[in-house]
Amino acid sequence: MAACQEYDELLTLHAAEALETEEEARVRTHLESCAACRAEAEAHHQVLERVALPPPSPREQALLAAMPRTVEGAWRRAQVTSAARMRTTGALLAAAAVVLLSLGVVVQRPLGTRAPASTDEVLPAEESLSELETWAMEDPLADALAAADESVESLVDDAEGPASELEEFLSYPYLGESL
């Protein structure tokens, strides 16, 4: 005869002593009235006794008791070491920044130079200012584009008739716009 289906899982947990108080009381009450479940619970209990670990030795108990302190100590040492590395790295980076800034000021302004006394020395002469404006208004690529247009036109003129490959190539809308 098999154990009751609704108590199958509960009997296993009962044998492992893993039930809560209410469920334990319910299973004990059922075991008093059901012989099949009693036999099943006894079988589970015998199997679990065979695979149960022996109680820990005093040395194992001491190691288990000390484990939280050991792990916490190792973690704290790692945190302190990491923080020290970060502080050292930050200090070195700050020192490097100060050195670079001070070198930048020295390199940009040599010792023999002096600051201009008035704004007249800073502003360029009127002639050089007008030359600068003229240069800025010019298109530096205009000459190169004009020369390219002339060479393309001469190639088109040299080609034979409207069905030449060059005219066909240049007839595409996206190519004609870029030329």
Q: One digit per residue, pLDDT tens: the chain, 179 residues?
A: 678 888 888 888 988 888 898 999 999 999 999 999 999 999 988 888 888 778 889 998 888 888 888 888 888 899 999 999 999 999 999 999 988 888 876 666 555 555 555 555 555 556 677 777 777 677 766 666 777 777 666 665 655 555 555 566 566 555 445 44
**Full domain range(s) for residue 24:** 5-51
Is residue 69 in a domain?
yes
Is residue 122 in a domain?
no
- 139 and 158 fall within a common domain: yes
State the DSSP string of 18-50. ---HHHHHHHHHHHHH-HHHHHHHHHHHHHHHH
CA atoms of 46 and 15, how far apart (whole Å): 9
Is residue 118 in a domain?
no
Output the six-digit token pair for 112. 């023999």
On whether the pTM is more than 0.75, the answer is: no
* Closest to 157 measured CA to CA, from 175, 146, 170: 170
CA atoms of 48 and 68, how far apart (whole Å): 29
- 11 and 45 fall within a common domain: yes
Is residue 28 in a domain?
yes
Is residue 121 in a domain?
no
Is residue 141 in a domain?
yes
